[in-house]
Structure 1
Amino acid sequence: MRRPSSTTQGYGTAHRSRFRAGVLRRDPVCVLCKSAPATEADHWPLSRRDLVAQQLDPDDPARGRGLCKPCHSSETAQHQPGGWAAQRGPDY
Structure 2
Amino acid sequence: MSDRYYRSRHWLALREATLRRDPLCVICARAGLVVAATVADHIVERSRGGADDLCNTRGLCASCHGQRSHGGEAAPKGCDASGMPADPMHWWHGSTGSRAKNSWQLSGSDRAHHPKRISPPSESDFEAI
TM-score (norm 2): 0.47
Separation (CA, whole Å) in 1 of partners of 2:2 and 2:61: 23
| Count of residue correspondences | 68
Superposed, 1:10-89 pairs within 5 Å as 10-11=5-6, 12-17=8-13, 19-34=14-29, 35-44=34-43, 46-51=44-49, 57-58=51-52, 60-79=53-72
Separation (CA, whole Å) in 1 of partners of 2:26 and 2:2: 28
Which runs of at least 4 in structure 1 moved beyond 4 Å after TM superposition? none
Separation (CA, whole Å) in 2 of partners of 1:71 and 1:49: 19
Gaps of 5+ in 2: 73-129
Separation (CA, whole Å) in 1 of partners of 2:10 and 2:49: 15
Separation (CA, whole Å) in 2 of partners of 1:15 and 1:29: 19
CA RMSD of superposed structures (Å): 2.0
Q: Identity over the aligned pairs, expressed in percent?
A: 36
Separation (CA, whole Å) in 2 of partners of 1:5 and 1:51: 17
Output the amino acid matched with 2:49.
Answer: L
State the 1:49 CA deviation.
1.7
Separation (CA, whole Å) in 1 of partners of 2:26 and 2:66: 14
TM-score (norm 1): 0.64
Look at both structures and tell me which one has the larger radius of gyration over its CA atoms.
2
Gaps of 5+ in 1: 80-92
- Which whole-Å deviations, capped at 9, do the CAs of 1:9-46 have from their partners, x for residues lacking one? x21221011x20111011000000122100000000x1
Report which structure shows greater RCO (CA 8 Å, sep ≥6).
1
